Structure 1
Amino acid sequence: MRPESQMKRIEAFFPLAHGVPRVNDRRVLSGIVYVIRKSLQWKDAPKAYGPAQDFV
């Protein structure tokens, strides 16, 4: 399955933006998977996934 079609299938489960600018859903999801696989804390994740305060 292609990444675009996978994202399309799960985008209905993402929260709606209520006046707050959204961050990139794909980046957030990739960061979540990376942190879980590596058993890290958000602050220890690579900068490519964005600052930790974006995910709190």
Structure 2
Amino acid sequence: MYDLFRRWQRHGTWQRIFTELQARADAKGVITWDLNVDSTICRAHQHAAGARKRRTCKRNRRAASPPSRTTMTSDARAAA
């Protein structure tokens, strides 16, 4: 069955059947020719698709550690 399907596909039989059915339906007025084009694109980051990471970024390691407290002049006076 699959071989017959592929043979008809290669020879354009399915396209001719589709074109004929479409012409008959259009002649009867049962087809509305509304066109809708949607160009929405949804992309995921490469890591979301399971890509391997090349190496760990040093910047990420620093971000994981707690930030150091900055000493202001006003803080030093209040502590004294």
Fold shared by both chains (TM-score > 0.5)? no
Give the TM-score of the pair, scaled to structure 1.
0.30
Larger CA Rg, structure 1 vs 2:
2
